[in-house]
Chain A
Amino acid sequence: MKIRIKMIGPLMYEAGFSEKEMDIPVATTAEKLLDRIDISKQRPKIMTRNGKAIAPDEILEDGDKIAISPIYSGG
């Protein structure tokens, strides 16, 4: 299935892309998606699906828009 993934802020330089479509197996969780992206596991981050926060064990669905952002703190 296809999802669209957006990397925010400095994560885009670490991952090597800012936004792209990605083919992933059915029943991939949010946490497993991170295995397919070249960013540090230790780095604090927040993942959203269609604008809403998503937990690591939630299963992604076809057409989801996923954003991965560092933990911003409002300057």
Chain B
Amino acid sequence: MVSNIKQDIWNFSGYGGIHMTGWTGNILRVNLTAKTAKKETFSEEFAQKWVGGRGFAVKILYDELKPGIDPLGPDNKFIVALGPIAGIPAPNTGKAVVAAKSPLTGFYGDGNLGTRVSEHLRKAGYDALIVEGKADRPTMLYIEDDKVEFLPADEIWGRGTYAANDWIYGKYGKGVGVLNIGQGGECLNRYAVVRSLEGRAGGRPGMGAVMGSKLLKAIVVKGTRPIPQADPQAMRALGSGDLKKVQKIDKETGWSIQSTTGVLSFCNEVAGLPVRNFRKTHHPDAWKIDGERLNNARVATYGCPNCTMRCGITIHDHEGREAELDYENIGLLGANLEIFDLPQVGSLNYLCDEYGLDTMSAGCVLSFYADAIDHGATSGDFKFGDAERAKELLRMAAFREGEIGNLLAEGSRRMAREFGHNSEAYAMQVKGLEVAAYNCKFIPGQALAFGVAAIGAHHREAWIITFEIKHTTRESYGPEKAAKVIELQRIRGGMFETLVACRFPWIELGWPLDNYPKYFNTVTGLNWTLDDMWRTADRIYSLIKLNYLREFPGTTRKADYPPAVWFDPSNADTEGPIAGKVLDAEKYDGLLQHYYDQRGYDKRGIPTKDTLKKLDLVREAAEAEKCGKLT
């Protein structure tokens, strides 16, 4: 199917693919330089070994990217990957994984986002899309079943995600699936995300910048065919029944009234809220931006496709626009910047969404900048609490405007290395990815969860704060916390990211986990248990670690440490529940060792040869050994 002929439209004949249920069996490979499109098949062995989503993405990138390539160069590849239940009506299956080598962290990066692309790409006949090369002009990729078009995107290049998305809807109608980027991605801001207005944003470690580097403004997908399933009737009955059941649980518990934002008050109570670049853990004005106030200000509610518990609470921002907020936004663009004015926090969030910037990294970058000025590491006019200047700085970061904008666009770790003065100690990031909105100054297990999260300090992999506080002692650095982190990584970072589905019905409403193998088995005809899911998850975590080793052969266990400021006694709270306490470095190292021991990793945090063999990663291990040593 591949050819050297450059053309703007490719048309495949027939549905193609090998016979497989649950998966389409096809990957669409597009090369923007050559303007070629190719439908490739994958084996059942590949499908069952990597399942989909994050599993497909990490395996494809591991096999196809040479270590050391420029993540913002044409050699990088941008992946959209789906799983066997993605797009099928069942609780919260309207998500897709986007992945590439990260320009923020320098190794494998990914994210998930709610989008109709999930359903449409599968209905078009593909489980994944690989985008290679670089276009010679701003381009929009249009995929409709067998047809692939390379269209000029000059009309929307330079425009924000809202306007670009509206233009696309005007051209193709509102039912299509869209992934697009804003000016942040176009200008190669390293924490630019991919946006989809049917859902939200995803790909924190600069997946939007990777699209921008390829001059790829948008991907539009329309699929019209059935998704192959072992028992479609049974899945329809199961999925539609369960959608109603989860909706009922949400209504009964009232979770969606405040959705994720209720946790702000909890974090403020237990000294786990990021305030003033994580210097403080609680604040008397936090109530001004809490879930209760947000719900009172609500003007609309948004959710992803197939959502049973819509979590996007929209308010009018300071300028009167609709801004959709969740906990991470109010935590990092609000409390962490000491901006306790909900409409102003809404404005900052709106700008991030419009420019296509990750709200979490943006909040940490701005708080780090203010903190660095406070501590004399750099000079500048930005202070905590200054919402108007924060808006200007976000614009400058998105457009890489001037020296400051260029610096802010680099992310907090690169900024710290530029500033010097030991400022990296309070650049709130792990492996280059900024920390989500949980202040672990004295929450050891969650600090570990950030330290060993696969792609950097993301909360989606493991969140154990309630477990630590309710079921163990907060002071403990014991093996039970490492075990809990692994348990959650398998579920959250593994199963949900490969199937691909939103974890919220399980994690927030208690929807039983064994429903997910049930969905998987109904569409694939297989007979998997949760243990099979965990094995796949462990394989994926190990391959991400091998990817890290290939990129950073001299890595040490220090890469799995959280920000140094959490260990600094001079940073201890002077009052409140954790007054005088910070993380203990020696004990943290012991906790990290518990994690390595339970995972079968060596002292650097790299899987041992024995572990890799057990996970059927012998060939991948041999590849890794060309760059770094395995033990």
Contacts of A13 in B (CB 8 A): 254, 257
At the interface, yes or no: A36 with Cβ under 8 Å from chain B?
no
Report whether over half of chain A's contact residues are helix, strand or loop; otherwise say mixed: loop
- The answer to whether B266 touches A72 (Cβ under 8 A) is yes
At the interface, yes or no: B326 with Cβ under 8 Å from chain A?
yes
- The answer to whether B262 touches A10 (Cβ under 8 A) is yes
- The answer to whether A50 touches B577 (Cβ under 8 A) is yes
Which of A13, A43, A51, A67 is packed against the most chain B CB atoms within 10 Å? Answer: A51
At the interface, yes or no: A30 with Cβ under 8 Å from chain B?
no
- The answer to whether A75 touches B263 (Cβ under 8 A) is yes
- The answer to whether B269 touches A69 (Cβ under 8 A) is yes
- The answer to whether A67 touches B260 (Cβ under 8 A) is no
Given A8-B266, A9-B266, A10-B253, the answer on whether A46 and B469 have CB atoms closer than 8 Å is yes
Across the interface, B469 reaches (CB within 8 A) one of A6, A43, A53, namely A53
- The answer to whether B265 touches A75 (Cβ under 8 A) is no
Q: How far is the CA of A13 from the CA of B577 in the complex (A)?
A: 27
Contacts of B507 in A (CB 8 A): 73-75
Q: Please, how many residues of chain A have a CB less than 8 angstroms from a CB on the other chain? A: 24
Closest B residue, CB atoms, query A50: B577
Closest B residue, CB atoms, query A72: B263
- The answer to whether A9 touches B262 (Cβ under 8 A) is yes
**Residues 232-274 (chain B) with a chain A CB within 8 angstroms:** 253-255, 257-258, 260, 262-263, 265-266, 269-271
At the interface, yes or no: A14 with Cβ under 8 Å from chain B?
yes
- The answer to whether B271 touches A9 (Cβ under 8 A) is no
Q: How far is the CA of A10 from the CA of B271 in the complex (A)?
A: 21
At the interface, yes or no: A52 with Cβ under 8 Å from chain B?
yes
Closest B residue, CB atoms, query A44: B510
Across the interface, B266 reaches (CB within 8 A) one of A10, A18, A52, A69, namely A69
How many residues of B sit at the interface, in one of the four size bands? 35 or more
Within the complex, the shortest CB–CB distance from A49 to chain B, in Å, comes to 9
Q: How far is the CA of A18 from the CA of B262 in the complex (A)?
A: 12
Contacts of B50 in A (CB 8 A): none
- The answer to whether B470 touches A46 (Cβ under 8 A) is yes
Q: Which of B206-214, B458-466, B548-556 contacts A (4 or more CB under 8 A)?
A: B458-466
- The answer to whether A10 touches B269 (Cβ under 8 A) is no
User: What is the total of A-B residue contacts with beta carbons within 8 Å?
Assistant: 90
- The answer to whether A75 touches B438 (Cβ under 8 A) is no
At the interface, yes or no: B157 with Cβ under 8 Å from chain A?
no
Q: How far is the CA of A6 from the CA of B326 in the complex (A)?
A: 21
Q: How far is the CA of A19 from the CA of B67 in the complex (A)?
A: 55
Closest A residue, CB atoms, query B328: A75
- The answer to whether B504 touches A6 (Cβ under 8 A) is no
- The answer to whether A9 touches B466 (Cβ under 8 A) is no
Given A14-B254, A51-B576, A53-B470, the answer on whether A75 and B266 have CB atoms closer than 8 Å is no
Encode contact with A along B419-439: 1 for CB under 8 Å, 0 otherwise: 000000000000000000010
Given A14-B254, A46-B470, A53-B469, the answer on whether A74 and B438 have CB atoms closer than 8 Å is yes
Closest B residue, CB atoms, query A67: B269
Within the complex, the shortest CB–CB distance from B310 to chain A, in Å, comes to 14
Within the complex, the shortest CB–CB distance from A30 to chain B, in Å, comes to 12
Closest B residue, CB atoms, query A10: B254
At the interface, yes or no: B292 with Cβ under 8 Å from chain A?
yes
Contacts from B to A (Cβ < 8 Å): 253-255, 257-258, 260, 262-263, 265-266, 269-271, 282, 291-292, 311, 326-328, 438, 459-460, 463-466, 469-470, 474, 504, 507-508, 510, 576-578
Closest 9 CB pairs of A and B: A74-B463, A51-B577, A9-B262, A10-B254, A73-B507, A75-B260, A72-B263, A67-B269, A8-B265
5 pairs, CB–CB < 8 Å, chain A vs chain B: A10-B258, A48-B469, A51-B577, A72-B263, A75-B459
Query: Besides the contacts A67-B265, A75-B507, what 4 more A-B pairs have beta carbons closer than 8 Å?
Result: A46-B466, A48-B469, A74-B464, A75-B328
